Structure 1
């Protein structure tokens, strides 16, 4: 109801108010900046000095040598070098029996890298037999850096389940069997 009343007052005598606003004098725009003064005698001297040849500056300019290469071509060349270098790759140690999720099965990986299957196999072997599968042996078998291998074994712990006992004795528990 209030919206109707407000609309009536807002639209009351609308045409007359619009004509009154349109017929008002418009504000005058600010005056434009005066054009640049015609060049004087001092201005022609500056133009002459700019157009004169300066022999010492020309000699310095001739001594500059610039060699330019296309960054896109350089990036492609570096990719070709890394792909073509077979010494930096190693054959795959362990792979899953089936290509998971339709991914292409790998045959080799770069040195210093692991596939997920290899990482899980190495971590599981180390967890089951830590005396046999030492960080040094894992680093040697998979062509990894010893520092990275120690960090992997220390910080990446797959499939560790911790069961936190309840604070009260009569809390419900889920049987693991």
Structure 2
């Protein structure tokens, strides 16, 4: 419905638009934008209290116009060149930075005894998939990091796994231990004697 109305209204809106625009432009003084009531009240108050200042502001000052005509800004010298530091060159490529997989760029050189996030996630995943093949000893030897560090990483960090059931009624199967770590033991215990006698005894 909105599109149909716009199709009907547009020809009337654009009718004789050029002559109407020339009529508005050729006016001696354009109409000022409407003011807020509070601004109008403030202006009326200033006109009443300081009429001479208001009249002076409405007149053109020939001296100010003369000063404006005499103002010229010319550049005599060439733009100074900022010396570039070869140790810290400015970026030549100003295109947008790509979004990296882990939120930041992977380091090109990893020092001995350290490991990148990508490699750490890889050996954690390999260990979760096959703990017998990917042992802490083999991982430490492959990446040249201490075995104690590898054991701590494998102990405290895991990679998320997504389990999608075949249907809604299927029970979720997890790779973790089937037995719960905390067992709730229900045992009937005797009430503690407070030492106070019940009334009527």
TM-score of the superposed pair, with normalisation by structure 1:
0.33
TM-score of the superposed pair, with normalisation by structure 2:
0.29
